[in-house]
């Protein structure tokens, strides 16, 4: 009897260690809030577009460069892939391929880490074409800053973290107990329950970007970003928090400053948005881009009902950067402040001078549709559009 009990216990323990913790994470409408709270999915979502692989694409083909590096480099990285496969009970899985052409994920070893801090051992990068994943690349440094090889353990640890990114875990966890915590020295080098919960949530969501488009019926059973974070307002708030953190990390990067400006604008913090847009303008060279940014600033002034500032901004932009977009900024302001006839007269003039100005035509058509009761205004729009053969 005793022997039976011991055997039973061993079998039972064996069962526990074989059933992957990933499979024990259940997500349903009733526990969603709790599951989200035990993850860092909100941080992942706040990074912007949600990217993940189509579940039917697993096992993903993985290429690991093997020439030019010790053999244990390759096996350390392989081990990391297999670890992810094991802890997820095969929910994510990989097959190793010998040529990068046939691979979904690629790992390279390089000496060229010129854009990275000298302590960076590896990094991951998605490449996109439209909304599709076009490539997924992890690059590892061959030697450290002193020219020494890395230990197998370090490569394994770093690979584990970078594979997390390549599965779609964007951004980082704020808890040092998680694999996806950013600081290498203090980081836990194992996949935590929170890492797994976050991954599970990610693969329960409709992605913005993926490798193979999901069918409508697939999407119908999945969670949306707004559902996961608890509403549209929360989504925008989170995006602002993340954009603020990112722009503090890379203050000289115009795209991260732009995301912050956009987040402020979406959260109706128009004054802060204007300030950030101005910062971006000072960082970019293209006048087309500057006009677009000034157009956003003009819109923010309109939202603040500061029509004088909006008009000044519109006039300044057109004077300094004359273009099809900048010329319609003034009539946009005029219309929004209620000077509707002036706006239409101005737009008709623009269209008469350049019947290919799609911004002006679009705005005229918009006004036409909005002005149900203003026959006079509608007639003058109609007249111009007909004269220019647009209707
Ligand atoms: Zn990272």
Query: How far, in Å, from the CA of 126 to the mean position of ligand 1?
Result: 13
- What are the distances in angstroms from CA 59 to CA 93, 103, 131, 321? 4, 11, 21, 52
Query: How far, in Å, from the CA of 214 to the mean position of ligand 1?
Result: 27
Query: How far, in Å, from the CA of 162 to the mean position of ligand 1?
Result: 6
Domain membership of residue 2 (yes or no) is no
Query: How far, in Å, from the CA of 172 to the mean position of ligand 1?
Result: 6
Query: How far, in Å, from the CA of 59 to the mean position of ligand 1?
Result: 23
Query: How far, in Å, from the CA of 191 to the mean position of ligand 1?
Result: 13
Print the domain residue range for 235: 228-387
- pLDDT value of position 211: 97
CATH number, domain of 151, equals 3.40.390.10
- Strand 105-110 and strand 132-141: the pairing is parallel
Tell me which of 223, 243, 268 is where a domain ends: 223
User: Any residues with CB less than 8 A from the CB of 277 and at least 6 apart, and which?
Assistant: 258, 261, 293, 294, 296, 297, 300
Domain membership of residue 265 (yes or no) is yes
Q: Say yes or no: 268 and 141 in one domain.
A: no
- pLDDT value of position 116: 72
Tell me which of 223, 254, 285 is where a domain ends: 223
Tell me which of 201, 223, 245 is where a domain ends: 223
Domain membership of residue 6 (yes or no) is no
Q: Say yes or no: 188 and 278 in one domain.
A: no
Neighbours of 27 (CB within 10 A): 18
Q: Say yes or no: 303 and 382 in one domain.
A: yes
Contact call for residues 279 and 247 (beta carbons, < 8 A): no
Q: Say yes or no: 372 and 271 in one domain.
A: yes
- pLDDT value of position 15: 46
Neighbours of 185 (CB within 10 A): 6
Domain membership of residue 12 (yes or no) is no
Domain count, the chain: 2
Q: Say yes or no: 282 and 300 in one domain.
A: yes
Query: How far, in Å, from the CA of 121 to the mean position of ligand 1?
Result: 11
Query: How far, in Å, from the CA of 227 to the mean position of ligand 1?
Result: 26
Query: How far, in Å, from the CA of 235 to the mean position of ligand 1?
Result: 22
Q: Say yes or no: 171 and 26 in one domain.
A: yes
Query: How far, in Å, from the CA of 179 to the mean position of ligand 1?
Result: 9
- Each residue's pLDDT tens digit, 40-94: 999 999 988 999 999 999 999 999 999 999 999 999 999 999 999 999 999 999 9
CA distance 208 to 51: 6
List helix spans (H) across the chain.
Answer: 2-18, 32-37, 41-46, 71-87, 152-166, 193-202, 216-220, 225-229, 232-249, 254-266, 270-283, 287-303, 307-320, 329-336, 340-353, 358-370, 375-387
Q: Say yes or no: 252 and 323 in one domain.
A: yes
Q: Say yes or no: 190 and 254 in one domain.
A: no
Edge-to-edge strand ranges of the sheet holding 132-141: 94-97, 60-64, 105-110, 132-141, 122-129
Burial bucket for residue 321 (CB in 10 Å: 0-12, 13-18, 19+): middle
Domain membership of residue 1 (yes or no) is no
Domain membership of residue 218 (yes or no) is yes
- pLDDT value of position 341: 95
Query: How far, in Å, from the CA of 11 to the mean position of ligand 1?
Result: 38
Residues of the chain with pLDDT under 70: 1-20, 115, 183-188
DSSP collapsed to 3 states, 201-238: HHCCECCCEECCCCCHHHHHCCECHHHHHCCHHHHHHH
CATH number, domain of 285, equals 1.25.40.10
Q: Say yes or no: 25 and 164 in one domain.
A: yes
Q: Say yes or no: 195 and 311 in one domain.
A: no
Q: Say yes or no: 159 and 32 in one domain.
A: yes
Q: Say yes or no: 282 and 356 in one domain.
A: yes
- What are the distances in angstroms from CA 348 to CA 32, 33, 36, 322, 377? 54, 53, 53, 18, 11
Domain membership of residue 179 (yes or no) is yes
Query: How far, in Å, from the CA of 88 to the mean position of ligand 1?
Result: 20
User: Any residues with CB less than 8 A from the CB of 346 and at least 6 apart, and which?
Assistant: 330, 331, 334
Query: How far, in Å, from the CA of 118 to the mean position of ligand 1?
Result: 15
């Amino acid at each position: 009897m005793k022997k039976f009990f011991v055997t039973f216990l061993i079998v039972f323990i064996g069962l526990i260690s074989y059933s992957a913790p990933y499979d024990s994470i259940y997500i349903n409408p009733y526990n969603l809030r709790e599951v989200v709270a035990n993850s860092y999915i909100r941080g992942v979502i706040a990074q912007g577009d949600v990217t993940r692989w189509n579940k039917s694409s697993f096992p993903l083909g993985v290429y690991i460069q093997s020439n030019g590096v010790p053999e244990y480099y390759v096996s350390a990285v392989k081990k990391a892939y297999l670890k992810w496969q094991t802890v997820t009970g095969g929910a994510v899985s990989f097959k190793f391929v010998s040529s990068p052409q046939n691979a979904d994920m690629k790992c390279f070893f390089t000496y060229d880490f010129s854009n990275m801090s000298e302590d960076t051992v590896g990094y991951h990068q998605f490449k996109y074409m439209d909304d599709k994943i076009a490539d997924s690349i992890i690059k590892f440094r061959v030697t450290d800053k002193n020219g020494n090889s890395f230990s197998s353990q370090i490569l394994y640890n770093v690979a584990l973290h970078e594979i997390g990114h390549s599965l779609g875990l964007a951004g980082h966890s704020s808890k040092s107990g998680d694999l996806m915590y950013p600081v290498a020295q203090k980081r836990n080098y194992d996949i935590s329950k929170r890492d797994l919960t976050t991954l599970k949530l990610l693969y329960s969501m409709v992605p913005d970007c993926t490798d193979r488009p999901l069918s409508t019926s697939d999407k119908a059973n999945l969670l949306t970003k707004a559902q996961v974070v608890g509403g549209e307002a929360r989504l925008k708030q989170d995006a602002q928090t993340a954009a603020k953190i990112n722009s503090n990390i890379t203050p000289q990067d115009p795209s991260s400053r732009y995301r912050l400006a956009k987040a402020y604008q979406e959260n109706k913090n128009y004054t802060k948005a204007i300030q950030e847009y101005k910062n971006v303008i000072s960082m970019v060279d293209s006048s087309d881009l500057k006009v677009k940014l000034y157009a956003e600033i003009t819109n923010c002034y309109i939202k603040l009902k500061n029509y004088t500032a909006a008009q000044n901004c519109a006039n300044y932009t057109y004077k300094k950067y004359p273009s099809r977009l900048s010329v319609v900024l003034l009539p946009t302001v005029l219309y929004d402040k209620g000077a509707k006839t002036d706006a239409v007269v101005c737009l008709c003039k623009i269209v008469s001078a350049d019947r290919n100005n799609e911004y002006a035509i679009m705005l005229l058509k918009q006004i036409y549709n909005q002005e149900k009761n203003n026959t006079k205004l509608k007639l003058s729009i109609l007249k111009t559009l007909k004269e220019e053969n647009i209707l």
